[in-house]
Amino acid sequence: MCEPEDAQLIASGVEQKRKSDGSPAAPHPAFKPHPLQGWTPDFIPKLTGDAFDLKLADRVLAIPAPEALACSKQLAAKEGIFVGITSGATFAGALRVAREAEKGTSILAMLPDTGERYLSTPLFADVPVEMNDDEWKISRSTPSAQFPVATS
C-alpha cells in the first residue's frame, strides 16, 4: 500500500478514533494537506483499517508528491496514459515494488483516475496553453479531427 509522504496516517501507527458505526470520530492527528487528491482524506477509512488489521497489506510505501507528479507526467509522455497525481503515486509505488521483485513477477497497479480533473493543479503547471509545431502536426494527422490552423 502507498500513502502520501506528507500525510502518513497508516505508517504513523496512531489508531483512528471511530464512532460506534465505524465512521471517523475525528480527523486523524497525522493528517497534513498534500496534493495526492485521491488518497488520504483526514481519516483512515474503516475498510483500510480493517485490511491492515487482517494483515492484508505487507508494507506501506511513502510516496513524495514530486515523485507522484513526475510519474503522472511520464505515463502521459511515454505511454499515452492520461492520469492524475494519485495514479502517478500508485505507479511510483509499483515501480519500487518492481525493482525489488523476482524476475518474472507480475505486478498489478490500478490507475483508476483520469487526468482531466487535474488540469488546474500543479500537474499541468508547466504545460503551455498554446500548441507547439509538433502538436499541430499531430492534430492535422487525423482528417476527421482537424483543428483550425493557428494564426499569428
Q: What is the pLDDT of residues 28-81, one digit of tens each?
A: 999 998 888 777 789 999 999 999 999 999 899 999 999 999 999 999 889 989
**In this structure, what C-alpha cell is assigned to residue 140?**
492535422
Cα–Cα distance measured from residue 28 to residue 45, given in angstroms and rounded to the nearest whole number: 10
Reported as a pLDDT band with limits 50, 70 and 90, residue 140 is confident
Q: Rounded mean pLDDT of the chain?
A: 88
- Residue ranges of domains in the chain, CATH in brackets: 2-124 (3.40.50.1100)
Q: Which residue from 44, 112, 51 is spatially nearest to 84, judged by alpha carbons?
A: 112
Q: Model confidence over 9-19: pLDDT tens digits?
A: 999 999 999 99
Backbone angles phi, psi at 48, to 5 degrees: -65, -45
